[in-house]
Amino acid sequence: MSSITLRHTTPAGSIPPRCLTGRPTDDGEIERLGDAIAELSARIQAATYELLVLIQQFDARAGWHGGFRSCAHWLSWRTGLDLGAAREKVRVARALATLPVVSAAMQRGELSYSKVRALSRVATPESETRLVDAARGGTAAHVERLVRAWRRVDRLAEARETARRHEQRHLHTWVDEDGMLVIRGRLTPELGAVVQRALEAAGDRLFREEAAVPPSDDGPAETSAAQRRADALGLVAECALASDLDRGTAGDRYQVVIHVDEDTLQEDARARAGDAVAPDTGQAVLEDADGACVSAETSRRIACDASTVVMRHASDGTVLDVGRKRRTIPPAIRRALAARDHRCRFPGCTARHCDAHHVHHWADGGPTRLENLVLLCKRHHRAVHEEGFTITRSADGTVGVCRPDGRQLPPAPTAPRWDTHGDEVQDPLAPLTARLAAAGMRIGPHTATPDWDGERFDVRWAIDVLWDRQGGAAPGEDASAETSVAT
């Protein structure tokens, strides 16, 4: 077997050849090896910065929307990274877009990815300069300890602010001189959001009811927004009293009923067969949603894995007969499907909360058997039904996915290979080296070496000096004492 060596394209004397074998014998050679490791590591950090910039640009342009749940899922699929590591790469890439000082330090190879990953959890444009200075002076372990203490102090400040808001909540009502009820108060953010949503929902209901009444010359004047909010508050109170202040169960609140014609479910099959389909054939209407409709393909997706009830209607819409409610996927088959597939079968997806998808829809005559079912998460179930992706399952159980343009989506793409010239591989960092040289940035063996000389790291003192939050405890007060971080 022939060996492949890496072509030496870096500046002379900076990094020795990688094909060095044997054990170094003199201190000078050991020192050069150490410098080579440090310099190459700094170059790798600079290259990692370029990778993060590319990830941020790809994410901002939604390049992963072609069937993937997120940019992290695409990155894991395309580059072979673990999904957790891919999520962290995307998070750091997004954070760097708002942290120019941290970005510049990493671009120059001064900060490692480990330090930047930790700093990105707490850094803001106002605090990043102080944090970068601290990171340059310590190791990655020091930075991790600093960030953990920083986050704890942040949480303590947030807890104090939350407690302050909770204590200041109040609501006062009184009857004015003219008999009008006056309401004034302060609510916590989460309760205020609930009240706002309730008022908006009640206001929308009142607006629709007003719009349904034909206008007349002697009718009341147009209701203002403030008047409608007052009426909405009354409607919310009436509904609460009528339901005996019962919040209801989660199943009652979130159950959605769709009425679907049989023609709607079979429309896609007839279209593929070449039969003429009328433009107004079938309908899929949401119950209790004022006639809101969903598309035929959406109704087919929901019908893949839902409870079904057959209702027979007369020509005027009167219900003639109602059948029994039954599950499209029987429980026994669902258990077997979950034991076989474990997770979503779409390439690159690891979701475990999935729908059962009929490869050949049951409304088109497809059987509800294991060989005709695959697990798909809600995101990819929608991609198959509404976004043009197609899925197949061969006799040996292999699942294939095609993009809307017909191209196959492989389970895992092949990794690109470096260009070779004979038995030599080009230096993968050569393009980066050229760009750094053009920008006047020099990376050497001591670029990323911290200034720490071995003294004890006092994390409480560091937090006391560095941490500063608008409205929080001032440095030197109880914030540093409450961190309880072992030094």
Please state the three-class secondary structure of the chain as a single string.
CCCCEECCCCCCCCCCCCCCCCCCCCHHHHHHHHHHHHHHHHHHHHHHHHHHHHHHHHHHCCCCCCCCCCHHHHHHHHHCCCHHHHHHHHHHHHHHCCCHHHHHHHHCCCCCHHHHHHHCCCCCCCCHHHHHHHHHCCCHHHHHHHHHHHHHHHHHHHHHHHHHHHHCCEEEEEECCCCCEEEEEECCHHHHHHHHHHHHHHHHHHHHHHHCCCCCCCCCCCCCHHHHHHHHHHHHHHHHHHCCCCCCCHHHHHCCCEEECHHHHHHHHHHHCCCCCCCCCCCEEECCCCCCECCHHHHHHHHHCCEECCEEECCCCCEEEECCCEECCCHHHHHHHHHHHCCCCCCCCCCCCEEEEECCCHHHCCCCCHHHEEEEEHHHHHHHHHCCCEEEECCCCCEEEECCCCCEECCCCCCCCCCEECCEECCCCHHHHHHHHHCCCCCCCCCCCCCCCCCCCCHHHHHHHHCCCCCCCCCCCHHHHCCCCCC
Q: Are strands 311-313 and 319-322 parallel, antiparallel or unpaired?
A: antiparallel
Q: Are the C-beta atoms of 305 and 357 separated by less than 8 Å?
A: yes
Q: Name which of 139, 126, 61 is nearest 99 in CA terms.
A: 126
Residue type at position 482: E
Q: Are the C-beta atoms of 333 and 370 separated by less than 8 Å?
A: yes
Residues constituting the chain: 487
Q: Are strands 5-6 and 424-425 parallel, antiparallel or unpaired?
A: parallel
Residue 433 CA to residue 444 CA, distance in Å, equals: 12
Q: What pLDDT does residue 4 have?
A: 38
What dihedral do alpha carbons 199, 200, 206, 212 form, nearest 10°?
A: -170
Residue 464 CA to residue 133 CA, distance in Å, equals: 15
Q: What pLDDT does residue 98 have?
A: 92
Q: Name which of 156, 222, 166 is nearest 190 in CA terms.
A: 166
Q: What pLDDT does residue 428 have?
A: 57
Residue 329 CA to residue 212 CA, distance in Å, equals: 42
Q: What pLDDT does residue 476 have?
A: 43
pLDDT tens per residue across span 253-263: 445 566 666 66
Q: What pLDDT does residue 381 have?
A: 87
Q: Which residues of the chain have pLDDT under 70?
A: 1-25, 213-221, 246-296, 313, 315-317, 320, 414-434, 436, 442-455, 469-487
Residue 152 CA to residue 472 CA, distance in Å, equals: 13
pTM (predicted TM-score): 0.57
**Bridge partners, residue 355, by sequence:** 376
Q: What pLDDT does residue 270 have?
A: 46
Q: Are the C-beta atoms of 363 and 345 separated by less than 8 Å?
A: no
The angle formed by the CA atoms of residues 64, 99 and 137, to the nearest 5 degrees, is 125
Q: Are strands 181-186 and 326-327 parallel, antiparallel or unpaired?
A: unpaired
Sheet of strand 408-409: strand arrangement = 390-393, 399-402, 408-409
Q: Are the C-beta atoms of 123 and 146 separated by less than 8 Å?
A: no
Cβ within 8 Å of residue 15, ≥6 positions away? 8, 36, 39, 40
Q: Name which of 75, 158, 160, 108 is nearest 413 in CA terms.
A: 75
Total Cβ atoms within 10 A of residue 155: 10
Q: What pLDDT does residue 87 have?
A: 92
Q: What pLDDT does residue 269 have?
A: 45
pLDDT tens per residue across span 408-434: 888 777 666 655 555 554 555 666 666
Q: What pLDDT does residue 100 have?
A: 93
Q: What pLDDT does residue 178 have?
A: 84
